[in-house]
Amino acid sequence: MHTGDDADSTARVAIACQGGGSHTAFTAGVLKRLLREREDHSYELVGLSGTSGGAVCATAAWFGLVTSGTERAVATLDAVWRDFSALSPPDRVLNEWIVFLAQFAAHGGPMPLISPYDLPTTEVGRDRFLETLEAHIEFERVPTLAADTSVDLILGAADVTEGEFTTFCNDAVTAETVLASAAIPTLFEAVGIDDHWYWDGLFSQNPPIRDFLTMAASASEKPDEIWVVQINPKYREDVPRSMEDIADRRNELAGNLSLYQEIAFIEKINDLIERGSLPAEYKPVAVEFVDLGSDLPSSSKIDRDPEFIDRLMERGSRRAERFLRGRS
């Protein structure tokens, strides 16, 4: 959908990436296809945002894009997800065991509740996460790159003690802020940054959307369209009855709560513009979705099996292609 005055004009597009653990490998597939098709489908990328796994994808894509262009962005996404996958035999065994436990718990099986502060492996997981990011993203270059590009990068996190939504934007993005956005409280300790403590952005803006509008200095700099890569399905045909289905749906609704609050804000602004109630510096913004679907259980959000990751990426690529065809 084009929103400019000229039907043939290049639309200004921002892409927002919802969180969802391993399911956001789908997002990596979406981003790779969308970035490669920019010229053929007449749109200019003006921003990327993300939360949790979506923050990982947004940051990897942004860094590659502003450093060397589309192919670097694609390569960075592939490299990050390759390293996050369970590749070694011991890691595969561990991954299978963790997924089994998650499925067992989802079916109502008794599981001990252990704080990440009491687990000796918590620090290992944190270090591996940071090392993987830093192996492919040169965070020391982010301030300079952010100053030289018109593409915004926005990550969402939740301030644990203050109870506030937080975004890390452009030159404020570091490996630690990506970790803060992805720090699931049952798996990671809260991430301390500048005397504040952060949890996974699932509890805040999932993903950040309004910031695309509030950061723009004028109407001309705001996006014409925001494309949301959605991991948690909005609709379910049936009422969940089993413990697994109930847990899945509860997780999905929690993940979508902030998303639809963000979209309601944009819809309200669009309505006021249509009524003529806002000055000229406001312009309508279209919101479109590229969604994962509703056939995957929430327990698979922690599955790092390489074949599963590859299938999700391929699904993302196909969905993005279908989305672009429908937009033409």
- 1 band by pLDDT with thresholds 50, 70 and 90: very low
pLDDT of 96 above 80: no
| Digit-coded pLDDT (tens) for 20-30 | 889 999 999 99
pLDDT for res 171: 96
**Number of separate helices (H) and strands (E) present in the chain:** 10, 8
Which secondary structure element, helix H or strand E, spans residue 115, and what is its range? none
- Provide, for the chain, the percentages of residues in helix, strand and coil under a 3-state DSSP scheme, each rounded to the nearest 5: 55, 15, 30
| Digit-coded pLDDT (tens) for 118-131 | 676 778 788 899 99
**Distances from the Cα of 161 to the Cαs of 50, 190, 202, 261, in angstroms?**
22, 10, 16, 22
Domains and CATH numbers, the chain: 11-326 (3.40.1090)
The more confident residue out of 40 and 18 is 18
pLDDT for res 9: 75
Integer Cα distance of 173 and 185 in angstroms: 21
pLDDT for res 39: 77
Mean pLDDT (the chain, rounded): 87
**Distances from the Cα of 123 to the Cαs of 44, 118, 129, 229, in angstroms?**
40, 11, 10, 30
- 7 band by pLDDT with thresholds 50, 70 and 90: very low
Which amino acid type is present at position 140?
E
Q: 131: burial class by Cβ within 10 Å (0-12, 13-18, 19+)?
A: exposed
The more confident residue out of 82 and 201 is 82
Give this prediction's pTM.
0.90
| Digit-coded pLDDT (tens) for 30-76 | 999 999 998 788 899 999 999 999 999 999 999 999 999 999 999 99
| Digit-coded pLDDT (tens) for 264-323 | 989 999 999 999 898 877 889 999 999 999 888 877 888 889 999 999 999 999 999 999
Integer Cα distance of 85 and 307 in angstroms: 9
